[in-house]
Chains A and B, each alone.
Chain A
Amino acid sequence: MAGATLSAPTTANGAAAAQATQQPTSFTGKLVIIIPYTFLLVFFLVPFFIVFKISLSQVAIAMPPYTPALDFSGGISGVFSQLKELSFDNYVFLTEDPLYFNAYVTSVIVAGISTLLTLLVGYPIAYGMSRAPATLRPTLLMLVILPFWTSFLIRVYAWIGILKPEGLLNQLLLSTGIISEPLIILNTYTAIFIGIVYSYLPFMVLPLYSALEKMDYSLIEAAQDLGCPPITAFWKITFPLSLPGVLAGCLLVFIPAVGEFVIPDLLGGSQTLMIGRTLWNEFNANRDWPVSSAVAVLLLLVLIIPIVIFQHAQARAQEQGR
């Protein structure tokens, strides 16, 4: 879900840019634009409208489990009368039950905190990589990407083994005598934070690394030469110049983290309330497709705002010629 929403606008933007700069008139030129747009239409817009349409329906004990199901046997007038039955009741319902609002807010807060933590962990890593000897950098880059070779799901399960009360972490801490009673980490928000920071770290490190790596080191020397101690030079020069990377990294973590389902489900336990889990429950446990569709549509809207900010910032950075 989140993955689809993230890649979709980027592709659209790329195609639009190609159109603006080249003005292709030939058939192949048009084909280049038609292919991504067709892809978007078939695999993003059409499914989205199906979901949107379901979100306007009512739950029913039927196959499919909502009404009206789109039925073309009644001709155009039949379809039209079916469309009349659609309503925004499910959206009204979402605003009436605080569960959904709380789930959205919690998701955004959890994703926000996780993003910040990922930035705090990822920045020093990216900085260290960018200052490492040039011969060592490809290896370091490889190490960052390496976890992707193992399934995401397995890696999250592995964290259960580490974090559970009788898990590896507690065993280590108990045996060294740092703690006398096992820490309860699993099934708390802390576990979710650990899971998200761990899983999304490469998405933060890679854009940060690319921003930091292309920075001219003589700028830092110039700042020091003009009287900046290294830390001031970092905040006045390095950090502002890495902002495009910071923004890209934060959005790459924040957007999927808001809709994250696996990590809260496996590490967060039953008390944690996040929108991805709520959606899953509505769909599978309650079999309420219309409400879960409405949740999904609203989730998309929540995510579109940061995407638009991202696009805007990217366009501005391009305008500045860097």
Chain B
Amino acid sequence: MKSLGSIRRDFAPWNDPNAKPYIRFEDVTKRFGDFTAVNNLSLTIYEREFFALLGASGCGKSTLLRMLAGFEQPTSGRILLDGENLAGIPPYRRPVNMMFQSYALFPHMTVEKNIAFGLKQEGMPKADIEKRVTEMLKLVKLEPFAKRKPHQLSGGQRQRVALARSVAKRPKVLLLDEPLGALDKKLREETQFELMDLQQELGLTFVVVTHDQEEAMTMADRIAIMDKGEVMQVATPAEVYEAPSSRFVANFVGNVNMFEGKVAERTDKTATITGSTGAQIVVENAGEAKAGADVAFAIRPEKIKVSSAKPEGSVNALEGEVYDIAYLGDMTVYHVRLTDGQIVRAQSMNAARVSDDPLTWNDRAWVSFRPDAGVVLMQ
């Protein structure tokens, strides 16, 4: 496992200008009647990448996956896999396999036969099929259940059969449609790590569709955030969280506080933003924002400090009143109502058992953050 970790750490082909993209969506549009499911979308995925398509239902992520599998044809644009245009290639001739959200296990076949199905179709010799099936059963730890039928298995076991069946053919790309959606929370968390290990072990390219951001953050090398048939941002989980490219992404992934305002002053490094009520904050990471531009400053709750007295030497400190407190054990969430009425969410880790600056409902409080703690968003 150690070696797998080190492979993962150095894996960033998207930063390498010489890296060859494995899957390319080029200006792909898909319409169903009047409805545009995917709108002029371009995307590259690299070999051995664990890529997640994240978005709310109806954002076009499943359509994208189904176009890759061959169940839907793009209305316009093209999809390339390993340099080959996939247009016109039917699903049964594509070197990709899919794990279905419903698992789609064949109810009239045993676990063994389900896993062997694709291999038989390929015309693999019988002895090799047996060997591969045994190997797959071992991989997903289902050896004792080989002779069972799908309806005699638990949800988690079925999920494993579906997984084994879809990787048995060693596809170039494995497509996973909400692979953990039907599992309960605990099992889902365990399976996330198992999927990551499996992907490393087999060296396959995984494209996973999910609406669960935690799942995407845990497993994926890169995440594409989708909305209304368009990709809003493609980046690593850390980038998506710490440097969202738009208000939509910032809101979609995790919790965020947004300060809407205008850039009042701009230096090389910093920008001063004036809110609608006149409150001023000084921030870094202002990017291209020029003076006078309408922007939003997005900051995550855990990067905001709450204190009963005005913190000394802090550039950004806003006064307010504690409106709500939620104690969650490992951390405490404060909702502070600022003097201008905006409610700020702040989170602090409960590193000590007893806080040295106890705050309670309706206390005067100051929220403060460093200039580089958030990002300025123009979109």
Contact = CB atoms under 8 A, between A and B. Distances in A.
Interface of A: 216, 218-219, 221-229, 232, 236-237, 240-241, 320-322
A227 B122 contact: yes
Contact of A321 (B69, B105, B151, B165): B151
A218 B104 contact: yes
Interface stretch (B90-98, B274-282, B347-355): B90-98
Contacts of B90: 224, 229
A52 B165 CA distance: 59
Interface of B: 69-71, 90-93, 96-98, 100, 102, 104-108, 117-118, 121-122, 149, 151, 165-166, 169
A224 B169 CA distance: 13
A222 B151 contact: no
A173 B168 CA distance: 57
B107 A322 contact: yes
Given A218-B102, A226-B169, 17 more contacts: A219-B107, A221-B69, A221-B98, A221-B100, A224-B90, A225-B69, A225-B96, A225-B97, A227-B121, A227-B122, A227-B169, A228-B92, A229-B90, A229-B92, A236-B117, A320-B151, A322-B107
A226 B117 contact: yes
Contacts of B105: 222
Of listed A218, A224, A227, residue having the most chain B CB within 10 A: A227
Given A240-B108, A322-B151, A221 B71 contact: yes
Nearest to A220: B104
B178 to A, nearest CB: 12
A307 B344 CA distance: 74
Contacts of A237: 106
Of listed A219, A229, A241, A321, residue having the most chain B CB within 10 A: A219
B100 A226 contact: no
Contacts of A218: 100, 102, 104
Given A229-B90, A241-B107, A222 B98 contact: yes
A221 B102 contact: no
B169 to A, nearest CB: 7
A234 to B, nearest CB: 13
Nearest to A227: B121
A223 B117 contact: yes
8 contacts: A216-B104, A219-B106, A221-B69, A221-B91, A221-B98, A222-B98, A224-B90, A320-B149
A226 B151 contact: no
A219 B71 CA distance: 13
A237 B107 CA distance: 9
Nearest to A221: B71
